[in-house]
A and B are shown apart, each in its own frame.
Chain A
Amino acid sequence: MAIFPPQNRLWWKEPLSGIEITWIGVAFVWGLVMFGTMVGWHFVGKQNLSNETYRINPNAFGEKVEAMVERYQVREEGDTGIPVVHPAPGTDIYMLGRLWEWYPVLELEKDQKYRLHLSSMDWQHGFSLQPQNINLQVHPGYEMVLTITPDKSGEYAVVCNEFCGIGHHTMVGKIHVIDNK
Chain B
Amino acid sequence: MAVDTQAPSRGFIGASYRTCPETGLKVCSQAEALIKVNAVVAVVFLAVGGFFGLMVALTRWPAVHLLPADWFYLLLTAHGADVLLFWVIFFEVAVLYFASAIILNCRLAAPKFAWLAFVLMVVGAVLANVAVLQGESSVMFTSYVPMQAAPHFYLGLIVFAVGTLIAVFCFFGTLVIAKEEGSYEGSVPLVTFGAITAAIIAVFTIASGAIILIPTFLWSIGYISHIDPLMYKVIWWGMGHASQQINVSAQVAIWYAVAAMLLGAKPLSEKVSRMAFLMYILFLQLASAHHLLVEPGVSSEWKIFNTSYALYLAVLGSMIHGMSIPGAMEAAQRRNGFNNGIFEWLRKAPWSNPAFSGTMLSIVIFGFLGGISGVVMGTEQLNLIMHNTLYVPGHFHATVVGGTTLAFMAVSYLLVPLIFRKEIMFKKIAQWQPYVFGAGVAGISLFMMGAGTLGVARRHWDMGFSDAAMSFDYPATAFLMMGLNGIAALCAALGGLMYVLVIVCSVFFGKARTPESIAAFPTLPKTGGAATVTTYGSEAHPKLPGTVVLVSVFFVAFVLYYYVNWKYLSEVWPLS
Instruction: Mark A residues whose CB is within 8 Å of B.
Output: 1-9, 11-20, 23-24, 26-28, 30-31, 34-35, 37-39, 41-42, 45-51, 53, 77-78, 80, 82, 101, 105, 118, 122-124, 126, 128-144, 146-152, 157, 159-166, 168-174
Contact = CB atoms under 8 A, between A and B. Distances in A.
B70 interface: yes
Contact of B147 (A80, A123, A134): A123
Nearest to B226: A141
B387 A135 contact: yes
B300 interface: yes
Nearest to A6: B270
B7 to A, nearest CB: 26
Interface in B444-501: 453-455, 457-462, 465, 467-472, 474-475
Interface residues of B, number: 110
A17 B274 CA distance: 14
A2 B257 contact: yes
Contacts of B388: 126, 128, 135, 137, 161-162
10 contacts: A2-B190, A3-B103, A15-B269, A19-B323, A20-B327, A38-B307, A80-B470, A118-B296, A142-B230, A166-B69
B294 A17 contact: no
A54 to B, nearest CB: 9
B462 A169 contact: yes
Interface string B354-389: 000000000000000000000100011101111111
A170 B468 contact: yes
B576 A39 contact: no
A170 B469 CA distance: 7
Give the 4 A-B residue pairs with the shortest CB-CB distance, closest first: A7-B537, A9-B186, A157-B472, A144-B296
B304 A101 contact: no
B3 to A, nearest CB: 20
Nearest to A15: B269
A31 B139 CA distance: 36
Contacts of A142: 229-230, 296-297
B574 A46 contact: yes
B229 A20 contact: no
B296 A130 contact: no
A113 to B, nearest CB: 9
Interface in B111-162: 138-140, 144, 146-147
Contacts of B536: 1, 4-7
Interface stretch (B35-43, B200-208, B239-247, B308-316): B308-316
B532 A16 contact: no
Contacts of A77: 470
A163 B324 CA distance: 41
Nearest to A150: B573
A11 B274 contact: yes
Interface in B528-560: 532-533, 536-539, 541, 544, 547-548, 551, 555, 558-559
Contact of B186 (A5, A51, A152): A5
Contact of A38 (B379, B386, B537): B379
Contacts of A148: 573-575
A26 B555 contact: yes
A50 to B, nearest CB: 6
A173 B470 CA distance: 6
B268 interface: yes
A5 B472 contact: no
Given A28-B316, A141-B228, A159-B460, 15 more contacts: A3-B257, A7-B536, A14-B271, A17-B268, A19-B541, A26-B555, A27-B316, A31-B315, A48-B575, A51-B298, A126-B388, A150-B573, A161-B457, A163-B459, A166-B138
Contacts of A78: 470
A136 B297 CA distance: 12
A53 B294 CA distance: 12
A19 B550 CA distance: 13
Nearest to B465: A172
A9 B536 CA distance: 12
B67 to A, nearest CB: 12
Interface in B243-262: 256-257, 259-261
A139 B295 CA distance: 8
Given A3-B103, A135-B388, A172-B465, A14 B470 contact: no
A135 B184 contact: no
A105 B229 CA distance: 26
B435 to A, nearest CB: 25
Contacts of B516: none
A5 B189 contact: yes
A20 B482 CA distance: 41
A124 B229 contact: yes
Nearest to A170: B468
A170 B467 contact: yes
Nearest to B458: A161
A47 B379 contact: no
Contacts of A132: 455, 572-573
A16 B269 contact: yes
A35 B312 contact: yes
Contacts of B375: 34
Q: Which of A2, A12, A48, A151 has the most CB of B within 10 A?
A: A2
B185 interface: yes
Given A14-B270, A20-B268, A20-B324, A134 B573 contact: yes
A137 B379 contact: no
A161 B538 contact: no
Contact of A8 (B315, B537, B566, B573): B537
B81 to A, nearest CB: 14
B53 interface: no
Contacts of B260: 1-3
Contact of B70 (A5, A146, A166): A166
A172 B381 contact: no
Given A141-B228, A161-B458, A30 B537 contact: no
B185 A5 contact: yes
A16 B537 CA distance: 13
B389 A128 contact: yes
Nearest to B148: A123
Given A12-B271, A31-B313, A174-B470, A4 B189 contact: yes
